[in-house]
Structure formats: C-alpha cells, structure tokens
C-alpha cells in the first residue's frame, strides 16, 4: 500500500482468532509440562488473552510517557495497556486443563467403593450438576437409587476389596425379586410397575425376568421345570448417557439357588409375610435384598487356554467355547463388564489364524494371558496392585502388534 494511503490512519491491533487462541493454549500447556519458560512473545499474547478468559482481574494502571523521554526501540516487546501482568498470566496458565503427561504424573483419585448408598447419592448429585439426570418423581428417585445401590454393591463384591470403579463403567447389573423390591419401596403393585415402566422409558434401567431350572413342590407334588426366580435390572449410572442393556452373559450367570432358598424358606413371599413394613434404615433394606442373590465365587474358574490350538482345531461348538472362555477370563480377572472385549480378542485371534493373516496369533494371546496371571499373582504380595488386568492384557498385545492386527482385520466369518 502506498505511504500516502497510510498517512492519517490509526493502527488497530487485530483480535486473536479462536484457532490462534487454541494454538497458544496448547503451546503453553506443552511448555508447562516440560518445565520450560514461555518465550516473551507468548507471554505478551497470552497476557492479551487473559482479559477474555478472566474478566474479574483489574487492569494495571499505566501512565503516559513524559515528554522528551526516550522511547523503546520499535522491535522490542512492550506490555499493552490491556495486559494484566504476571498474575493474570499465571491465572490463565492455571485455568488451562492438564496435559496427558501431568495426568500420568499426578492422576486424579479414583472413586472408591465404600457405602453403596453414599456412592449412589454422590453419583446422583454429580449427574444433577452435569445435567445428565432426567427429572424424577420422589417414588422414581427412591426406586432408582435403591437399584443403583444394589448394582454398586454387587460390583464391589465382584471386584474385591480396594478396587476402584472402572473408568469406562456406564452401567451396573442388579438382581432382586420384584415382590421384595416392591415391599422395600412400600408401594402397591400397580404403583410399583408404573414406577418401573417410567424408569425404563427415561432410559435409566432395563429389566427382564431371570429363569432357572429347578424341582419345586407345587400343589403337593414335586415338579421339574423352568421357574422365574427374580428380575434382572441393568441400571445406568446417572452421570452417563448410554442406555443400559442386559447381555447374554447376564442371563447365563447363576444369580440364585432357587431350590435352596425355597427349602430354607428364604422367599419374597416369606419376607413380605414376616413384616408389614420394611426397616427404616436403608442399609438394612439393602442387606435383605442382597440376600436373595448368590455371593460372587471366591475361587475363579480354571481357564482352558493352555492348549490354544484346541479352539483352532474344534470344528463345531466354537461359539460356545469362545463365550465360555470370555466369561471365565472376565471372572478370573474380576472384570465383569469386559466379557465382550475378551470375546473380541478370542474371535480376532481365530480370524487371523483361519485366514492366514498371522500364524501363532493364539499362542501370542495365551502368552499374554499367562503374563497377566503372573502379574496378578505377584501383586498379591507387593504394594503395587494390578487394578485393571484387562488393560495390562491389551497393553501386552499392543506391544506385540496383535491388537492392531485384530482391529484392522476384515470381519470375516469364523464361527
């Protein structure tokens, strides 16, 4: 532009765009993670961003230069009148989200499994603050809170003492007879099923009847058959948004010994007949409802992957074998929510073997499972615990390149 056109025009400092602001913040986070000092130009630019991010800071008073005073060189960095100084710059840096390196060096404390009712209240309060919990009536909130506490306590018993909640956990599964649950809530039959239907419509629970084979005395004679022993509920965590669902392994799990409960008189009808009203303490109600489900097995089932080629040689029943192995892995590693992940690994290794994409894929998978078993067994006698064996298994498979091959392989039929 000619000099004549520039004369008489006032220079205006351009505003920093959203892309430039994101770039500066990313650079500041990276410098801070490495322990390096910010260059002066970044300090000036970030200081100009401080008023936009934190309007509560007061601007520094600046006095006009005295006549005749020496001016700064044109190329030197000067603080603009709108800059907020080092305090505003530090406040801006503190407001930036932590980097991955900082999270790895100082991870946030995981949510521990304590009192299930208190944890349920904590999750409900968190969901209300985040706006992920739909509006609930008083009866609906009580039923949802009790089912959530039942699922959390069941998960705590499955994981074992000291294990935190899995980070990707979106739902829990609870088992309870409907008559006992209705008695605990103090609702009439029609009101109870209206509340359950409303919770299902709002995407907070999913339910179904759990049936088992048993021989029971019916009308004076013993009859063998399939009986409904209770109800299964998949309960969505309130701060999540994914709709809950019941999987096939949930129905296949032995939730209750119906014959033993009937022989001992531990039935929902017996519980309702003993007292007209439930206990006042919520923890006592929770204990009574948990008594209807079997405790998790303390001894894990043996996993038959010592000969990995057995799956490859088996021409029939592969689906049943893979499902059984996946459930056994999830139970052994106390990771009930990852049955589909273990089945995905087994099917992927079989696919690589069947179509010649990688020979020895099952041997690598068996080796990784053995390493995880050794780590879990060794951790019992040390201070460092293996909190997520599934994550360790995925890490070992990724280091061997098998996990990426399983994910990238075509989804050809191997069942």
Given 290, 319, 342, the domain boundary residue is 290
The C-alpha angle with vertex 68 and arms to 62 and 69, in degrees rounded to 5, equals: 50
Residues 6+ apart with CB under 8 A from 203: 134, 236, 243, 244
Same-domain pairing of 137 and 185: yes
Residue 65 in any domain: the answer is no
Same domain, 247 and 337: no
137 with 194, same domain: the answer is yes
Predicted local distance difference test score (pLDDT) of residue 142: 93
Angle at 121 between CA 116 and CA 122, to 5 degrees: 95
Classify residue 326 by burial, with Cβ atoms within 10 Å: 0-12, 13-18, 19+. buried
The answer to whether position 8 is within a domain reads no
Q: HSE-up of 96 (CA within 13 Å, CB side)?
A: 26
Contact 182, 241 (CB under 8 A): no
11 lies in some domain:
no
- Identify whether the C-beta of residue 335 lies closer than 8 Å to the C-beta of residue 390: yes
- Residue 414 CB-half CA count within 13 A: 24
Residue 347 CA: distances (Å) to CA of 325, 403, 407: 11, 12, 11
89 shares its domain with 193: no
Beta-carbon neighbour count of residue 250 at 10 Å? 18
The pLDDT of residue 338 is: 83
129 and 180 housed in the same domain: yes
End residue of a domain, out of 290, 318, 340: 290
In a domain, 343, yes or no: yes
- Residue 358 belongs to a domain: yes
DSSP 161: T
Q: Is residue 4 part of a domain?
A: no
Instruction: Give me the percent of the chain exceeding a pLDDT of 70.
Output: 70
CA distance 304 to 36: 53
Cα–Cα distance between 396 and 214 in angstroms, integer?
Answer: 43
pLDDT at 6: 52
Residues whose CB falls within 8 Å of the CB of residue 224, separated by 6 or more in sequence, listed in order: 213, 214, 215
Same domain, 88 and 188: no
Positive or negative, the Cα torsion across 400, 323, 318, 207? negative
Q: Which of 60, 66, 65 is nearest to 81 (CA)?
A: 60
**C-alpha span between 159 and 33 (Å, rounded):** 34
pLDDT tens across 172-207, in order?
999 999 999 998 898 999 999 999 999 999 999 999
Helix (H) or strand (E) holding 217: strand 205-218
Spatial distance between the Cα atoms of 335 and 345, rounded to a whole number of angstroms: 15
Taking the C-alpha atoms of residue 362 and residue 305, their distance in angstroms, rounded to an integer, is 9
Instruction: Give pLDDT, residue 78.
Output: 43
pLDDT at 379: 67
Q: Do 357 and 405 touch, CB atoms closer than 8 A?
A: yes
Count of alpha carbons within 13 angstroms of residue 164, beta-carbon side: 12
Number of domains the chain is built from: 3
- The verdict on 228 and 205 lying in the same domain is yes
Residues 280 and 353 in one domain: no
158 touches 297 (CB < 8 A): no
Q: Is residue 41 part of a domain?
A: yes
Q: Spell out, as residue ranges, where the chain has pLDDT lower than 70.
A: 1-16, 33-35, 47-114, 161-162, 275-276, 295-316, 379-384, 415
DSSP summary character for residue 280: S
Residues 181 and 215 occupy one common structural domain? yes
Residue that finishes a domain, picked among 33, 66, 101: 101
d(CA 35, CA 393): 33
Task: Please indicate, yes or no, whether residues 283 and 167 belong to a single structural domain of this protein.
Answer: yes
| 170 and 245 fall within a common domain | yes
74 found inside a domain: no
| Helix/strand/coil (H/E/C) assignment for every residue in 285-340 | HHHHHHCCCCCCCCCCCCCCCCCCHHHHHCCCCHHHHHHHHHHHHHHHCCCHHHHH
Beta bridge partners of 218: 221
Of 340, 343, 399, 339, nearest to 368 (Cα)?
Answer: 399
Q: Are residues 172 and 281 in the same domain?
A: yes
Whether residue 174 contacts residue 250, with contact meaning beta carbons closer than 8 Å, is answered with no
pLDDT, residue 70, reads 47
Quote the domain boundaries for residue 33: 16-54+81-101
Q: What is the pTM of this model?
A: 0.54
Q: What is the pLDDT of residue 81?
A: 45
Write down the pLDDT at residue 15.
65
* Cβ atoms of residues 73 and 45 within 8 Å: no
d(CA 391, CA 408): 19
């Amino acid at each position: 532009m000619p000099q004549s056109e520039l004369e008489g025009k006032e220079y205006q400092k351009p505003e920093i765009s959203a892309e430039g602001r994101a770039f500066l913040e990313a650079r500041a986070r990276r410098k801070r993670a490495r322990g390096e000092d910010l260059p002066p130009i970044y300090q000036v630019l970030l200081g100009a961003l401080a008023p936009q991010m934190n309007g509560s800071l007061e601007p520094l008073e600046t006095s006009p230069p005295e006549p005749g005073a020496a001016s700064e060189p044109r190329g030197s960095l000067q603080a603009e009148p709108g800059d907020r100084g080092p305090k505003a710059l530090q406040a801006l840096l503190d407001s930036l989200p932590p980097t991955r390196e900082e999270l790895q060096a100082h991870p946030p404390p995981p949510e521990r499994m304590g009192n299930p009712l208190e944890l349920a209240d904590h999750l409900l309060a968190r969901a209300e603050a985040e706006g992920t919990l739909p509006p609930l009536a008083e009866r609906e909130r009580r039923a949802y809170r009790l089912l959530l506490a039942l699922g959390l306590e069941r998960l705590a018993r499955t994981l074992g003492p000291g294990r935190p909640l899995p980070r990707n956990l979106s739902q829990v599964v609870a088992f309870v007879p409907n008559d006992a649950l209705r008695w605990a809530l103090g609702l009439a039959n029609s009101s109870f099923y209206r509340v359950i239907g409303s919770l299902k419509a709002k995407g907070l629970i999913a339910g179904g009847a759990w049936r088992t084979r048993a021989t029971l005395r019916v009308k004076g004679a013993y009859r063998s058959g399939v009986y409904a022993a209770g109800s299964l509920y998949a309960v969505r965590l309130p701060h999540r948004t994914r709709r809950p669902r019941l999987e096939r392994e949930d129905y296949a799990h032995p939730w209750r010994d119906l014959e033993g409960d009937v022989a001992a008189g531990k039935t929902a009808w017996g519980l309702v007949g003993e007292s007209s009203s439930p206990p006042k303490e919520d923890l006592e109600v929770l204990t009574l409802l948990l008594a209807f489900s079997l405790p998790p097995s303390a001894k894990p089932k043996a996993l038959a992957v010592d000969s990995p080629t057995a799956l490859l040689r088996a021409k029939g029943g592969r689906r049943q074998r893979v499902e059984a192995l996946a459930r056994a892995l999830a139970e052994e590693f106390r990771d009930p929510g990852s049955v589909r992940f273990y089945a995905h690994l087994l099917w992927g290794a079989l696919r690589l073997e069947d179509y010649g994409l990688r020979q020895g894929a099952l041997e690598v998978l068996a080796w990784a499972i053995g390493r995880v078993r050794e780590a879990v067994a060794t951790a019992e006698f040390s201070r460092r615990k293996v909190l997520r064996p599934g994550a360790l298994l995925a890490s070992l498979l990724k280091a061997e390149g098998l996990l990426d091959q399983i994910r990238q392989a075509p989804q050809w039929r191997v069942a």
